Structure 1
């Protein structure tokens, strides 16, 4: 079982830093490439750029909960939530067939 996880391409878990603006302020976010790929997918599904999606998410979190203590972790969890929702939608479409 662990070979599935251990054998993955190291490029998937290599980190990448991207610079973007959050609420008008320039910042850098460092995430693993797999998370960037998911964020790019989320943004594309929303019809926006990844920086725009991240900035909007940041604004909405501030509005709902205040400044997040660890925004990078929130982004990772957003990716997991997206995968969870996608998986549930896929399972529901299979069940409907």
Structure 2
């Protein structure tokens, strides 16, 4: 069982810091590369650039909850929810397979 997880490419587990401009402010966000890949897919799926998606998400959290306590953790959780929704959609469409590893966003060779 652990072989699946142990075989995740090391490049996907490396931390990556990106500077992002949100609402005119530049901020740095540090996430594992696999999460950045998933966020890029998520943003594209929403018809947005990554910066626009991050800004929109941040603004909506502020509106709903009054503050954003840990944005990096929120982004990781958003990736998990997105991947779970993709998996659910795949099960609704027989004969299709996900293009990414369901836990890390790693591309799977077809």
TM-score by shorter chain over 0.5: yes
Shift of 1:48: 1.4
In structure 2, how many angstroms separate the alpha carbons of the residues matched to 1:50 and 1:83?
A: 17
Q: Which has the larger helix fraction?
A: 1
Q: Which runs of 4+ in 1 moved over 4 A?
A: none
In structure 1, how many angstroms separate the alpha carbons of the residues matched to 2:27 and 2:18?
A: 8
In structure 1, runs of 5+ residues without a counterpart are none
In structure 2, how many angstroms separate the alpha carbons of the residues matched to 1:7 and 1:86?
A: 22
- The answer to which structure, 1 or 2, has the higher relative contact order (CA under 8 A, 6+ apart) is 2
TM-score normalised to structure 2 length: 0.81
Shift of 1:23: 2.2
- Report what 2:29 is aligned to: 29
In structure 2, how many angstroms separate the alpha carbons of the residues matched to 1:7 and 1:81?
A: 23
TM-score normalised to structure 1 length: 0.92
Shift of 1:36: 0.2
In structure 2, runs of 5+ residues without a counterpart are 96-110
